[in-house]
Amino acid sequence: MFAWKSPSSKDYRELRGKASDDELIELMIREPRLIRRPILTDGLKIVFGYKQGAYDELI
């Protein structure tokens, strides 16, 4: 759910594969733009980012 392709993540890309989940969560708390959006759920499944096929399955 970390938005690695976001321009906002440019300064953090060297952390990919190195940072712990807790460290990434802390970064997302401080900079919400680092959270991949949109987020869609049906109560059981969660889809992060725009994926038309996945959206069709949830609707």
State residue 38's pLDDT score: 93
State residue 56's pLDDT score: 82
Going residue by residue through the chain, which has 59 residues, state the pLDDT in tens, using 9 for 90 and above.
999 999 999 999 999 999 999 999 999 999 999 999 999 998 998 999 888 888 888 77
State residue 53's pLDDT score: 85
Q: How far apart are CA 27 and CA 40, in angstroms?
A: 22
